[in-house]
Amino acid sequence: GKDILPYLTGLQREFTRYALSDVAKMTSAHAIRLYELLVQWPEGHRVVELDDLRRWLQLEDRYPSIKDLKRRVLDPAVQQINEHSPLMLTWSQRKTGRMVTPLVFDYAPKKQPAKAVGKAPAKSKAGKLTKEEVGRLARPGESWEAAYARLNQIQLELPEETTA
């Protein structure tokens, strides 16, 4: 029971948390790994040395030319991240002389479609959360199901007069 608690809290500090639905449709292991690396850096901008990226993606000596790395790893990974995750990712390369050294990744949450003007917000019935409310109150990267469960738990913990 209590003996395992320090290990569980250690896991939360040492590993990156994200919704499985963010990567479920990705078919490239490189896309999933790159996404995991990006969500560790919440700033939305990251400069990564090429050697570090190769190590993080476990490429060893594969794709020694930047052209092959772009075509076989980076472009497909970025396409899958943009298509299947809540992030919009762009990247560019910096050159030192003729050599590409660092890569620059810029990313941000995708913009939500604009809501129709003049439409009344969905009313909740007897304290039930609507889909729109859950979507609006979800944390970045949190799946709808996880947000719904978290918000319902909060609602249950509130005193009765607050929820009415």
Confidence of residue 134 (pLDDT cuts 50, 70, 90): confident
- List, for residues 22-69, the tens digit of each pLDDT value: 667 787 888 888 888 887 877 788 899 989 999 999 998 899 888 999
Three-class secondary structure of residue 134 per DSSP: helix
For the chain, what is the total number of helices (H) and then of strands (E)? 8, 3
Confidence of residue 121 (pLDDT cuts 50, 70, 90): very low
Q: Which domains does the chain have, with CATH numbers?
A: 2-109 (1.10.10.10), 113-164 (no CATH)
Q: What is the side-by-side strand order in the sheet with 87-96?
A: 45-49, 99-109, 87-96
Question: Half-sphere exposure of residue 42, counting CA atoms within 13 Å on the CB side?
Answer: 5
DSSP codes joined into one string, 136-156? HHPPTT--HHHHHHHHHHHHH
- List, for residues 64-119, the tens digit of each pLDDT value: 888 999 999 999 999 998 998 888 899 998 887 878 779 999 988 877 655 545 44
Tokens encoding 140 = 């970045």
pTM: 0.56
* 14 vs 30, residue with greater confidence: 30
